[in-house]
Structure 1
Amino acid sequence: MSISADRPPAHSFGVSRAPRTPLKARAAKAILKPTVNHVPVRLRFADGRVWGAGGADAPEMRVVRPKAFFARLGADTKIGFGEAYMAGDWTTGDGTDLADLLEPFAARMATIVPVPLQKFRVFVDKKLPHHQRNSVKGSRQNIEAHYDLSNDLFAQFLDPSMTYSSAWFESAEQDLEAAQLRKIDAILDDAHVTAGTRVLEIGSGWGALAIRAAQRGATVTTITLSSEQAALAQERFAEAGVDVDLQLVDYREVTGEYDAIVSVEMIEAVGEEYWPTYFAAIDKLLAPGGHVAIQAITMAHHRYLATRNSYGWIQKYIFPGGLIPSLDAIDQTLHEHTSLAVTNRRSLGQDYARTLHEWRDTFNANWDAIRTQGFDETFRRMWEFYLAYCEAGFRTGYLDVFQLSISRPAKG
């Protein structure tokens, strides 16, 4: 996981110039002002104007380039806010943490747009791009767009286990690596993984769960679509002295029979269109009496219904093809397309908020090392916004993450 200081800039994530749409910009400005006047934040402009319902101690957003900011917001409300941060059109005030600023907005996500204007949502939301469909070919491209950025990049902000999903903290004092291993052990326990268990992991990551399962004496097969992850995972298997069968295949291409199937934060990359295929594949591969344990990011069902067909900033810049399900959607898909059902669920939502905060702190602390890999300033602001945006979502409960135990109900 070496970092080359001589690597030329190779990862430019520049955003386009602010669009020239004066009417849309004026409309965005007219909507934003009364909206933020009901949110406990402060929007400060260069000319000294202040909007927002927050007092002097409220999180502060500084609008550096108002014309560009409102132009982006007017041209594409859902994507323009994040793009404006990437471009430097706005930033946080002195002493304001980005997640603290975003949290009041996340807490009001469902109601922040005035009710009379919500009927115009259909004219604002963009449909998910066809090229991001999670077909076998599309899934590979979508996964590569994020996970093949650079193993060195992820190593600079993840804990030593290289685990890129929510940890499960036992206490305020427990460090991130220990909390990640605790999370992994919980998944393996839920799937009844012991010596001799035939385990299939859908989504290898960098191998931490596969290593832990193999150390229990299980026979482990793990699959991934990321060649970068696969290469490092193989190195880590050798270092740990474990025998793991790693395959660069899609979940739709797996054959065999397994006593335990585990998958951590993979369903978000499957896409609603393919949830029946994903769960049907698990059903087909699961041996009689077997157990499934997955970790899934979720949102409330009414929010899933409202956002399922719209294209947002996260999908454009971070996770192409991604879609977060609801617990109801998972239950319904299992009921309609498999013989499986959820038997237990464990929420780790606040643990994810803490996990994301620690990742962001480490990312910022190690930015100089990341920059030498060829990542530019726009990428830094993009990644910072992504981590803070998600942290705010989990803090407020707009997002949650669950460990779900799944099996075939006993006949009787």
Structure 2
Amino acid sequence: MEQNAKAPLATSYDGLFKRIQQRLADRVKTPFEIRLWGGRSFRFGEGEPAVQVLVNDRNGLAALGRFDELGICEAYMAGSLDVAGDMMRFVSLRRALNDSHPLQYLWRRIAPWFIGRIPVDRQAIAAHYDFPSEFYLQFLDPTRCYSQAVFERDDEALETAQRRKLDFAIDACCLKPGDRVLDVGGGWGSFTEYAGQRGIQVTSLTISRQSEAFLSELIPRAGLPCRVLNQDFLAYASEEPYDAMVILGVMEHLPDYPAVLRQFQRLLKPGGHVYLDASAFREKHVKPSFIARYVFPADHAYFCLHDFLTAAAKTQMDVLAVHNDRHSYYLTCKAWAENLEAARDEIIRRWGDALYRRFRLYLWGSAYAFFSRGMEAFRVVLEKPREV
């Protein structure tokens, strides 16, 4: 009797995993195993599994059965699913999943019209950046730079590659001691400290409370000729123009390119430079629903190079250089994800398992997106022409 009572459930499992097998055909090459809470397991693909998906309860099983990327991410964050093995190979399974949530996309696009651009920006920044600064320092390198490094070799240390990028930004903007620079989105003081130590006067803009607090402590402690202001870039005004602007990984939060370019022209001296770097998609406003809901909400939009260059072409700004950093950003995210894994116990102890799981998905998913050419990354240098 007991065996017969279990038979319908076993039959439903068999049906589900047959559908999974059909779904994976010709889409996913990664061999993996799904193991249920009762011990039963199913293998997919050829060879030893590189990944093991552990189903801890019926909610996890239901999430798998819907083939919805967002639902599977939510089940993982809730602990209904676990992952063992190669996380890069796990996130590659997204090729077989759906990710269609049009109402979420629609609200993200229209929210600035109803609420206002600046309030929406503040809400979005707080949602990602206002965790305690110590959390981010668990996976960032000692430069604390939260955008792509510039690698010359795959086996370089992340810190070495980040310092190369910071040097590039200073050189690209032709900066020297005494120059005034606007650092848009100061983060954890990566550029502010690096340039300030060279006698460059940096005004660091941020709308993150945690970032403002971190910079307010860093600047006097390190004796930097710098300051921090809690102001939105698009609303910022200065009586004296700047020699340069540096925007590290913040263009994703500034999707109104014409407005951004107008600020470049207002705030720069003639002959002044802009250095920016960003993660990018080839279509503007495209991003996974998991990222839109749990990582970068509101109308955060990955940088779209051709849209930006089209907008720049309608101004007097000159585009001096564009560099493709896709592989470097893959290596950067991979290093961050590995650092996060190494700090797992400390992160869970201090900030909880859900936050660790959220960033584990985010960082490994981003690494895979760059590796698989699903995402791009660029450095761009611009100049405001001198008066003739």
Q: Tell me the TM-score normalised to structure 1 length.
A: 0.79
| Aligned counterparts of 1:341 and 1:84: Cα–Cα separation in 2 | 48
Could you list the per-position Cα deviations for residues 224-251 of structure 1 after superposition, in whole angstroms to 9, with x for gaps in the alignment? Answer: 0112112112222223221102111000
Whether 2:210 is the aligned partner of 1:228: answer: yes
- Counterpart position of 1:49: 42
Whichever residue aligns with residue 88 of structure 2, its letter is A
Q: Please state how far the C-alpha of 1:172 moved relative to its aligned partner.
A: 4.5
Of 137, 150, 163, which aligns to 2:145? 163
Distance 1:144 1:123 in 2: 24
Contact 2:186/2:206 (8 A) holds in 1: yes
Deviations 1:203-226 (A, max 9, x none): 101112012222333222110011
Identity of aligned residues (%): 26
C-alpha separation between the residues in 2 aligned to 1:130 and 1:348?
A: 28
1:44–1:62 contact (8 Å) kept in structure 2: yes
Aligned runs of 1:351-362 on 2, under 5 Å? Answer: 351-362=328-339
User: Which residue does the alignment assign to 1:249?
Assistant: 231
Structure 1: gaps (5+ residues): 1-26
Q: Distance in 2 between matches of 1:310 and 1:88?
A: 24
RMSD in angstroms over aligned alpha carbons? 3.2
Q: How does 1:136-285 map to 2 (within 5 A)?
A: 136-256=118-238, 257-270=241-254, 272=255, 274-285=256-267
Q: What is aligned with 1:98?
A: 87
Q: Distance in 1 between matches of 2:384 and 2:352?
A: 49
Is the 8 Å Cα contact of residues 270 and 387 (structure 2) preserved in structure 1?
no
Question: Is 2:22 aligned against 1:34?
Answer: yes
Q: For structure 1, which segment, 30-39 or 96-105, has the greater mean C-alpha deviation from structure 2 after superposition?
A: 30-39
Of residues 187-196 and 58-67 in structure 1, the stretch that sits farther from structure 2 once superposed is 58-67
CA contact (8 A) 2:129 2:210 kept: yes
For the 8 Å contact 2:33–2:49, the answer to whether it is kept is: no
2-structure distance, mates of 1:73, 1:310: 21
Aligned equivalent of 1:372, options 349, 364, 388: 349
Structure 2 spans left out of the alignment, 5+ residues: 1-14
Q: How much does 1:372 deviate?
A: 3.4
Q: Distance in 2 between matches of 1:124 and 1:70?
A: 25
Higher RCO (CA 8 Å, separation ≥ 6 residues):
1
* In structure 2, distance between residues paired with 1:175 and 1:266: 24
Separation of aligned partners in 2, 1:35 and 1:283: 51
Q: Which residue of 2 aligns with 1:9?
A: none
Contact 2:122–2:208, Cα closer than 8 Å, also in 1: yes
Q: Aligned partners of 1:139 and 1:335: how far apart in 2? A: 26
Aligned residues of 1:166 and 1:355 also touching (Cα < 8 A)? yes
Measure, in 1, the Cα distance between the counterparts of 2:331 and 2:170. Answer: 22
The residue identity in structure 1 corresponding to 2:41 is: G
**Which amino acid in the other structure matches residue 143 of structure 1?**
I
Shift, 1:139, TM fit:
0.9
- Tell me the amino acid that sits aligned with residue 50 of structure 1: R
Which residue in the other structure is 1:346 paired with? 323
Verify: 1:394 aligned to 2:370, yes or no: yes
Looking at structure 2, the residues matched to 403 and 55 of structure 1 have their Cα atoms a distance apart, in angstroms, of: 40
Letter of the 2:81 partner, please give it.
W
For residue 313 of structure 2, the aligned residue among 330, 335, 340 is 335
In structure 1, the partner of 2:7 is none
Q: Provide the TM-score with structure 2 as the length reference.
A: 0.83
Asked which structure has the greater CA Rg, the reply is 2
User: Distance between the aligned counterparts of 2:102 and 2:207, measured in 1?
Assistant: 35
In structure 2, distance between residues paired with 1:378 and 1:234: 30
- Paired with 2:211 and 2:248, the residues of 1 have a C-alpha distance of 15
Structure-1 separation of matches of 2:375 and 2:286: 17
Amino acid at match of 2:306: D
- Secondary structure at the counterpart of residue 297 of structure 2: coil
Secondary structure at the residue paired with 2:183?
A: strand
User: Are the structure 2 counterparts of residues 385 and 132 from structure 1 closer, same or farther at C-alpha, using a change threshold of 3 Å?
Assistant: farther
User: How many residues matched?
Assistant: 365
Distance in 1 between residues matched to 2:67 and 2:301, nearest whole Å: 19
Q: Distance in 2 between matches of 1:309 and 1:127?
A: 12
